[in-house]
Amino acid sequence: MKNQNMETDSTFNYKLLGRLVLDCDYFLGYGHRCEKHLWSGNVKDQIEKMKELWNDFIQKPEWLSMEQIETYEKDMIVQ
């Protein structure tokens, strides 16, 4: 039963990370850099959650690297 819960948590977190990436793409495009379109409500927390989720995966997503997350961070932070 414990393994099933871990798999369910992993699946949820994998999907959540995908959602956070989509939010970032929208934010940088048609979202016009409006933080209300981010899951977390602000850039700092959004990036922190993405890093947390990514680091928690034993098998890292092939479609997202830590370098890509750091690029989102750089691109999204207001200069």
- Which pLDDT tens digit goes with each residue over 30-50? 999 999 999 999 999 999 999
Which distant-in-sequence residues (6+ apart) come within 8 Å of 48 by Cβ?
Answer: 40
The stretches of the chain forming alpha helices (DSSP H) are 2-28, 43-56, 66-76
Q: d(Cα 35, Cα 16) in Å, to the nearest integer?
A: 17
**Quick one: which of 39, 10, 9 has its CA closest to 72?**
39
pLDDT one-digit tens code per residue, 15-26: 999 999 999 999
Query: What is the model's pTM?
Result: 0.88
Give residue 8's pLDDT band: very low, low, confident or very high (50, 70, 90): confident
Report which residue type is found at 49. Answer: K
| Angle at 64 (CA atoms; ends 61, 67), nearest 5 degrees | 125
